Amino acid sequence: MDTGYDFIQPEFLDILFFQQKNLVIYPYIDLKHFHTLQIFTTGYDTVDIDATAIHNLQEIIDYEKSSSYSQQPTLYLLYNVDTSNIRKLLSSNSIRFIVNTNENVDNMVNDLEVVFYNKKMKLFFNYTPNNLEFENYLIKSSSNETILLEKIQQIKTIATKIYSEINEKGHLKDIAVILEGYNSAYWSKILQFTEKYYNIELPKNYLPKSSQRTVNKIPLKDFSFEYELIMKSNKHIAQEFIQLIHEYRSKRVNAANLDVAQLYYPQKLYNYLRNHHWEKGIPSDFVEEWIKLYHTKYSITEQDITNFEALFQNLGISSISLRNSEFEPVIKYKQPNIYSCHNSGKSTPSVKNFQEFKDWIIKKLDELERYKS
């Protein structure tokens, strides 16, 4: 019985992505498992065509190509394809495709660039793998398909930078800087993809050596456990936090320093901030905005207060006591990101009236901000 994971294999990553070859799979596989292969088609718009009872498949594809206005090339996912249509596809050099057929096509295997895969025998024809170390690393280091897709998309981004470097400067002087985030043993694979996808030829006598910056690069710390604590604390607290870190990024972080994943995935963005901007912890001004729940416009409840206090304790932040009847927030830092509280002798609204209590907290925080300035 087929599963989608049967096709998340280093050979398919090499064939479809790094070598940019076409593929014929037989006999028939379930459609949802067939679509799993799309994870390796980054850089293409994929078009599904059910070829059942279609005798002029080549003409249909040619028409679709001529009427497409996409800036990306197209890759066709073709299923239920008969042998006559497969023969026509094999003679075409201008179409990227993955074909699935229930017919026996053993006799079609020849010296063409198209790779054939017999799924029952688990055997590839017209394909000899050449060092799949990078492909194995990418798959094994990804806990799920989403993360693997992110890594493949990042390689596509790197290839685009290389292509732009060549077009703009006419040379590869800065290529080592672009590739420095990867083990130098994997650079040739990324360059191979760049050549195949963009149909260019890089100097064969030039393989960049790792830059000094790569050798001396300090490994980033993983703060995912902190992010997970925040996400598990309370959905309103978590939603406010995500909106705030994206706002912080847009105002205070140079987007050129972020990769695609860090731009769009809050956990990766948080790790970047903790390594590069918040080395000593979440800053006080950020926490002050956070507890207002301004972006989510949510009225704080007693449970929220409890969750905030527990979360701040787990994160090493000594939180403001939100239940202190004589509360006046004067934030002092014995060390970065540690809150202490000062009692002013003034009474506060009852916590039972949460909206009034929240408004009072915000007012006091505004007064504190004026005091600090």
Q: What is the pLDDT of residues 3-58, one digit of tens each?
A: 446 789 999 999 999 999 999 998 877 787 888 999 999 999 998 888 786 776 77
Q: At residue 139, does pLDDT exceed 80?
A: yes
pLDDT value, residue 155: 95
Which among 254-258, 272-276, 328-332 has the top mean pLDDT? Answer: 272-276
Q: DSSP characters for 329-361?
A: -----SSTT----EE-S-----TTSHHHHHHHH
> Can you tell me the mean pLDDT for 260-279?
84
pLDDT value, residue 333: 32
CA angle, 107 as apex, 101 and 112 as ends, to 5°? 85
pLDDT band at 159 (very low <50, low <70, confident <90, very high): very high
Closest CA to 278 of 265, 288, 289, 287: 287
CA atoms within 13 A on the CB side of 14: 19
Give the lowest-confidence range in 76-80, 215-219, 233-237, 238-242: 215-219
CA angle, 311 as apex, 307 and 316 as ends, to 5°? 155
State which H helix or E strand residue 98 sits in.
strand 96-100
- Cα 190 to Cα 162: distance, rounded to the nearest angstrom: 10
Q: Does the global pTM surpass 0.75? A: no
- Cα 346 to Cα 360: distance, rounded to the nearest angstrom: 12
In the DSSP assignment, the letter for residue 44 is: S
Which among 153-157, 174-178, 256-260 has the top mean pLDDT? Answer: 153-157
pLDDT value, residue 115: 93
pLDDT value, residue 331: 35
pLDDT value, residue 203: 72
pLDDT band at 370 (very low <50, low <70, confident <90, very high): low
> Can you tell me the mean pLDDT for 167-177?
71
The rounded percent of the chain whose pLDDT value lies above 90 is 23
- Peptide bond preceding 27: is omega within 30 degrees of 0, i.e. cis? yes
pLDDT band at 210 (very low <50, low <70, confident <90, very high): very low
| Number of Cβ within a 10 Å radius of residue 227 | 21
pLDDT value, residue 66: 62
> Can you tell me the mean pLDDT for 249-270?
80
Tracing tokens 């979440």 back to the chain, one arrives at: 282
Q: At residue 253, does pLDDT exceed 60?
A: yes
- Cα 364 to Cα 166: distance, rounded to the nearest angstrom: 57
> Can you tell me the mean pLDDT for 231-251?
89
pLDDT value, residue 325: 40
Provide the terminal-to-terminal Cα distance of the chain, rounded to the nearest Å.
68
- Cα 141 to Cα 144: distance, rounded to the nearest angstrom: 9
CA atoms within 13 A on the CB side of 147: 10
User: Rounded to an integer, what is the distance from CA 324 to the centroid of its chain?
Assistant: 43
Give the lowest-confidence range in 102-106, 111-115, 148-152, 259-263: 259-263
Would you state the structure tokens that stand for residue 179, as one six-digit string? 């590739």
- Cα 59 to Cα 55: distance, rounded to the nearest angstrom: 9
Q: What is the pLDDT of residues 78-114, one digit of tens each?
A: 988 888 888 888 877 778 899 999 888 888 887 577 9
pLDDT band at 335 (very low <50, low <70, confident <90, very high): very low
Give the lowest-confidence range in 38-42, 115-119, 280-284, 356-360: 356-360
Inter-residue long-range contacts of 152-157, CB under 8 Å, 24+ positions, other chains counted: 152/13, 152/17, 152/39, 152/40, 152/42, 153/42, 153/260, 154/259, 154/260, 154/261, 155/17, 155/42, 155/190, 155/193, 156/42, 156/43, 156/193, 156/197, 157/259, 157/260
Q: Tell how strand 115-118 and strand 123-125 pair up.
A: antiparallel
Burial bucket for residue 210 (CB in 10 Å: 0-12, 13-18, 19+): middle
Closest CA to 27 of 79, 97, 89: 79
Average pLDDT score over the chain: 78
Closest CA to 231 of 222, 239, 220, 221: 239
Q: What is the pLDDT of residues 285-318, one digit of tens each?
A: 888 888 888 888 888 788 888 888 888 888 888 6
**Between 244 and 296, whose confidence is greater?**
244
pLDDT value, residue 198: 92
